[in-house]
Amino acid sequence: MAFNTGSAELRIYNTLTRQKALFTPIEPGKIRMYVCGMTVYDYCHLGHARVLVAFDVITRYLRALGYDVHYVRNITDVDDKIINRAAENGESCDQLTERFIEAMHEDEARLGVLSPTEEPRATAHMGQIIAMIETLIEKGYAYAADNGDVYYRVERFEGYGKLNNRNLEEMQAGSRIEVSDVKENPYDFVLWKSAKAGEVSWNSPWGAGRPGWHIECSAMSKCCLGDTFDIHGGGPDLKFPHHENEIAQSEAANGVPFVNTWMHAGAIRVNKEKMSKSLGNFFTIREILDTYDPEVVRYFLTQGHYRSQIDYSEASLKEVRGIVDSFYHALRGLPAGEEGELENDVEARFFEAMSDDFNTALALSVLHELVREINRVKEADIGQAARLGAQLRRLGNVLGLFQRDPEQYLQGGASAQGPSAEEIERCIQERAAAKRARDFATADRIRDELKAQGVILDDSREGTSWRREA
């Protein structure tokens, strides 16, 4: 069944222009999107999850609108951090990166993040990287230094700073930047690093070495999506210098605009500071998923607008657990497969919200109203409630939410803490027998003992069901 998307037109906030604008793809019906992925030297943290989930929701929504989305998310599998960590561990860079790529994929799958269309690795694109550096040297935008490094000549690129709304003179004024004898200008950045003894390296016209971080993305995006594409995204800390340098490299090398729309997700904060490995205040995705259901974490990351900052706390996640529970309570007991026409404006309002720069907060408020309507009609008209429930699931799927069996979610699955499902069912049967014998004291004791272990019993005309406490 096709969605009722209403008359809303997709508008996206463009970091480059600093305003929302009507989105028009380069090729009708198709969208080419590149998002900067992980540098795989450690486990992904919640800040990474924010970016993964944000652009997963964006991709899902674009596809729900009918677009053919070619989504590329790269992997940085060679850089200083990887080389240093591998050396500390006494293993090869390949061994280190393969282990953390596998862990990243496990974390993504648990969070319901769909795989990108392509996932290029920097080490598989050395030919394209070297070719782009050669082009930049030929055009006068780069130069080989005496030490074997190659640098980008920042002053040569007229538009440098346009993504961050700063020109080079403003950045230089009063700034502190390390002076180098081999650079023409302190702001010039490295395109190719000469190899130190024992480091992993590749042959190049400038000697053995490896690429700088910025040039990797310029070469991989060109290879996968062409010289100009529709959307480039990433985390909030990538606007400068990474994305600014990508623009300078790509537009100088290719001679055409690099990206039409730039998108950046907001940061995760802990105690009002950005969550990051460098600050040491981060929580890995798998640490959090050891305590909280993946869908609760995904809802937590989706409930605010993708550009907004999110404040992480245990209290916030516990509150979200109760919210997600309420959605599954509404779906609980509804017959499956009850698709049908509904005379409501829920889908149109949902798509209107999402078409306004992917406003998930407003879209979720529409789904909250739908939950209230399901609960209102559930007792009187189970068929109508089931049709509304099917609508909730269809729209929830656009956000990657509410697709599980309600009983499985509410009872916590195989990894749940506390008594097993078999133990709980046995207690329910003992309580039922006590109630039949009018031994209400025993029935109450069993209920209270289960509650103390985090298990809530819900009595209804159909019998007793149970769920884990939020």
Length, in residues, of the chain:
470
**3-class secondary structure per residue, the chain:** CCCCCCCCCCEEEECCCCEEEECCCCECCEEEEEECCCECCCCCEHHHHHHHHHHHHHHHHHHHCCCEEEEEECEECCCHHHHHHHHHHCCCHHHHHHHHHHHHHHHHHHCCCCCCCECCEHHHCHHHHHHHHHHHHHCCCEEECCCCCEEECHHHCCCCCCCCCCCHHHHHCCCCCCCCCCCCCCCCEEEEEECCCCCCCECCCCCCEEECHHHHHHHHHHHHHCCCEEEEEECHHHHHHHHHHHHHHHHHHHCCCCEEEEEECCCEEECCEECCCCCCCCCEHHHHHCCCCHHHHHHHHHCCCCCCCEECCHHHHHHHHHHHHHHHHHHCCCCCCCCCCCCCCHHHHHHHHHCECCCHHHHHHHHHHHHHHHHHHCCCCHHHHHHHHHHHHHHHHHHCCCCCCHHHHHCCCCCCCCCCHHHHHHHHHHHHHHHHCCCHHHHHHHHHHHHHCCEEEEEECCEEEEEECC
Residue 154 makes CB contacts below 8 A (sequence gap 6+) with 160, 168, 185, 187, 188, 189, 248
Other beta carbons within 10 angstroms of residue 50's beta carbon come to 25
In the annotated binding site for ATP, the residues are 277
Q: Are 202 and 208 in contact (CB under 8 A)?
A: yes
Residue 307 makes CB contacts below 8 A (sequence gap 6+) with 13, 264, 265, 266, 357
In the annotated binding site for Zn(2+), the residues are 36, 217, 242, 246
In the annotated binding site, the residues are 36, 217, 242, 246, 277
